[in-house]
Amino acid sequence: MSDAALDALFLPLQQGQIPWPADGALFLRARAGVPTTGGRWPGLVCEQSFQPSHMALARSGLEVLPAGGGDPVLPRKSLVLVLPPRQRDESRAVLARALQAVTLGGWVVASVANDEGARSAQDDLARVAGNIGALSKHKCRVFWAQAGETVDLALVESWAALDRPRDVLEGRFRSRPGVFAWDRVDPASALLASHLPVTLAGHGADLGAGYGFLSAELLQRCPGITALDLYEAEGRALALARHNLAALGAGTALDYHWHDVTAGLPRHYDFIVSNPPFHALGREGRPDIGRAFIAAAASALNPGGALWLVANRHLPYEDVLDSRFSEVHEIASSGAFKVIHAVRAHAAPMRHRA
């Protein structure tokens, strides 16, 4: 797939404006693509907490730092490449960590699409580093700064703390910028939680668990649950969920999976709940992700097992629901969302839709 920001990021290196160091480079929020294939950048070390992107980097033969449990320890390099995220505090924190990881006299190079906040990110790097070079290509801006006396070390330290975990929702949860709905209860998840029956029991799973809101609701409301597995592709969110559920798991076996649900699930369950994502790393809608979550749930449910799903009302999930479940009921709706209860057949199904 085309990745304009990634393509632009390597232009200063390809054009010789910044030399490639003998000891390689560190790549924060790395993504695999054409510029990173073929072994043309020896010694490149990648950091990526989103599991599908992490695995794509590894399949490309690149060295990837361990992830899935929070923030890894970053090696110091004389060149640090960055693809800053959209969220402003998280972006500033990543730029600050790049400046903390680069050696004196080394370079920090970043790239952002114009419609993803390129100008703001460039201004941020200029503000904290005190010097800047830039060029435009592929509807992106790639910009760079050298680590030296102009770097504002106090501001670097302040910005590096911007996306650290902190208490939210009056201390009920710990979360951090960049995680989905990081400082609030997502309204779709709240709608689903309000319609989950207290009779859910046995071994269940939460697909796309985020920082753990739905799982916490299940553990507090459903005493019949004996085991609960959380699946989350963003390692930063999964680490938060582990913390948030630590005090709620008495009597319930909890397991945490840094996993891409669209690749399928490793075991079977009595029930599954999910508020599936419908975007990947970009802004474009990806209803195929939600359909893949539904298909994975259908394959992983025991006969008679139930999926409790919430989704944006406009998303086209009915075809996969009708083809994979014997019963499909819309339990509730709001102006924007719908709650679906779907049951896997005990035997060869005679489908019914309500």
Among 281, 341, 353, 298, which residue's Cα sits nearest to residue 83? Answer: 281
pLDDT value at residue 147: 96
Q: Indicate the residue among 139, 160, 181 that finishes a domain.
A: 160
Write out the two tokens for 97.
């960590």
pLDDT at 347: 62
0.95 exceeded by the pTM? no
Q: Average the pLDDT over 54-59 and give the result.
A: 95
Candidates 66, 88, 85, 87; CA nearest to 75 is 66
Q: How far apart are CA 162 and CA 176, in angstroms?
A: 9
Average pLDDT for 144-168: 96
Contact of 147 with 80, CB cutoff 8 Å: no
Which of 160, 183, 216 represents a domain boundary (last residue)? 160
Give the whole-number percent of the chain exceeding pLDDT 70: 95
pLDDT at 349: 47
Using CB atoms within 10 A of its CB, is residue 18 exposed (0-12), middle (13-18) or buried (19+)? buried
pLDDT higher than threshold 90 for residue 113: yes
Residue 148 has pLDDT above 50, yes or no: yes
| 73/170 same-domain check | no
What's the confidence (pLDDT) of residue 353?
53
Q: Which of 135, 160, 185 is the last residue of a domain?
A: 160
Q: Are residues 125 and 252 in the same domain?
A: no
315 and 181 fall within a common domain = yes
CA atoms within 13 A on the CB side of 94: 28
Q: 202-207 and 44-47 as β-strands: parallel, antiparallel, unpaired?
A: unpaired
SS (H, E, C) 245-273: HCCCCCCCEEEEEECCHHHCCCCCEEEEE
Whether the pLDDT of residue 157 is over 70: the answer is yes
User: What pLDDT, in 10s, does the model give residues 80-95?
Assistant: 999 999 999 999 999 9
Do 238 and 296 have their domain in common? yes
| pLDDT at residue 279 in the model | 63
User: 128-141, pLDDT tens digit by residue?
Assistant: 998 899 999 989 99
pLDDT confidence of residue 37 = 85
**Same-domain check for residues 120 and 221:** no
- In this prediction, residues 301-310 reach a mean pLDDT of 97
Residues 11 and 147 in one domain: yes
Range of the domain at 39: 4-160
Residues 130, 194, single domain; the answer is no
Hunting for tokens 């709620």 — which residue is that?
248
Distance of alpha carbon 286 from alpha carbon 229, whole angstroms: 25
CA distances from 329 to 194, 201, 303 (A): 16, 20, 17
Which of the four pLDDT bands, split at 50, 70 and 90, describes residue 287? confident
CATH number at 189 reads 3.40.50.150
Residues 199 and 347 in one domain: yes
pLDDT at 280: 60
Look at residue 345 and tell me whether its pLDDT is greater than 50. yes
Q: Alpha-carbon dihedral of residues 48, 187, 297, 333, nearest 10 degrees?
A: -150
What pLDDT digit, counting tens, does each position of 243-265 carry?
Answer: 999 999 788 999 999 999 999 99
pLDDT at 351 over 60: no
Instruction: Say yes or no to pLDDT of 350 above 80.
Output: no
Residue 114 burial class via C-beta count within 10 angstroms: exposed 0-12, middle 13-18, buried 19 and up: middle
Q: What is the mean pLDDT of the chain?
A: 93
Tally of structural domains, the chain: 2
The torsion angle over the Cα atoms of residues 83, 84, 87 and 89, rounded to 10 degrees, is 160
More confident of the two residues 116 and 68: 116
* 151 plus 260 within the same structural domain: no
Residue 284 has a pLDDT of 66
Amino acid residing at 138 = H
Same domain as 156, residue 126:
yes
CB-based contact 147:78 (threshold 8 Å): no
**Shared-domain flag, residues 195 and 278:** yes
Q: Per residue in 203-241, pLDDT tens?
A: 999 999 999 999 999 999 999 999 999 999 999 999 999
Mean pLDDT for 188-204 is 97
Residues 288 and 140 in one domain: no
> What is the model's pLDDT at position 38?
78
